[in-house]
Amino acid sequence: MASGADESGDDMVVGRTNQSEERTLLIARNGDNAPDGYAEDFVLDVSIAGDRVLTNGAHGVDGIHASGSVEFPTGGAIGTIPAGNGIVARGLNGIVGYVQAALRDKTEEMNSQSGVVGEGGASAAGIFGRGQNGLVGCEQGTPRDAAFEARETAGVLGRGPIGVTGDGLNGPGVHGRGLPGVMGESPGGPGVLGEGDTGLVGRGRGGPGILSESDRENAAVFESKRRAQVWIVPLDSAIADPSKLPGHAEPGELCVTIGRDQRGSRIASLWFCASSPGAASLANWVKLA
């Protein structure tokens, strides 16, 4: 059986290792059998007959493997030659990838126009990245910040006029899970800015709905143009005063209860915890209004 190519100019042989001292180009062009244009929408197709082939190991068979060179010093005038890429692709989309079960969607490919298009499925990610930062994205006119990237350890790292934008159609625009779930940091402005019909909603599960603290200024500032700055929704009407509350009470707590006067109108009462040994029932609740 013939061996593979040993040098430039030799014929390539399938099923063998082929070597060359120069690059190999495969260029598509119109031929005599296709005078009106190229007959296919690809130049090279690598596939597996029937999508299945037996192997000696417990692994699948990949379509293409590509490895670039590693960085190495030459010891000469050139100095250190940097590492090369495994694959460099250029086109309407640089690279388009589909999981095995996904059907190809050429309309979406045409509309995407991105460096990488990843098509997953109901239980598969479109694009998965793992590293010190899983995915790093920079806006077109924003330079990379190597120090910032080295400092962070994020699943997704975005840098630009807006770092990361999320648009939720029927749910949160951005969902964060962690400790804390979402962290905002700003050297000269708000750490978190919420805008909407309700600017910010906090729901506590075993803890405060919103916890606010400051090392120099007010822990919270409330401003409203046409309504009261703060609305403390009264407790359930079955709780006549804060001493009926379960659990602990801490000095400084405010509480609003609701009742009715002789005419049946709803009357709110404001209470202040002046002191407490712990239990709400034993606390010194002062009625302010």
Q: Specify the number of domains making up the chain.
A: 1
Structural contact between residues 252 and 276, judged by C-beta atoms closer than 8 angstroms = no
pLDDT tens digits for range 61-90:
999 999 999 999 998 888 999 999 999 999
> In this predicted structure, what is the pLDDT of residue 128?
94
The rounded distance, in Å, linking the Cα atoms of 276 and 267 is 26
Tell whether 102 is covered by a domain: no
SS3 label, residue 252: coil
Within 13 A of 128's CA, how many CA atoms are on the CB side?
A: 7
Tell whether 248 is covered by a domain: yes
Which helix (DSSP H) or strand (DSSP E) does residue 148 occupy?
helix 146-151
Q: Domain of 237?
A: 224-289
Q: What is the mean pLDDT of residues 102-112?
A: 93
Structural contact between residues 71 and 81, judged by C-beta atoms closer than 8 angstroms = yes
Tell whether 250 is covered by a domain: yes
Burial class of residue 23 in the structure, from the number of CB atoms within 10 Å of its CB (0-12 exposed, 13-18 middle, 19+ buried): exposed
In whole angstroms, what separates CA 55 from the centre of its chain? 37
Tell whether 65 is covered by a domain: no
pLDDT tens digits for range 203-259:
888 888 888 888 888 889 999 999 999 999 999 888 888 988 888 899 999 999 998
pTM, 2 dp: 0.71
Tell whether 90 is covered by a domain: no
Q: Is the dihedral of CA 32, 36, 39, 44 positive or negative?
A: positive
Tell whether 276 is covered by a domain: yes
Tell whether 247 is covered by a domain: yes
Tell whether 272 is covered by a domain: yes
The rounded distance, in Å, linking the Cα atoms of 43 and 81 is 31
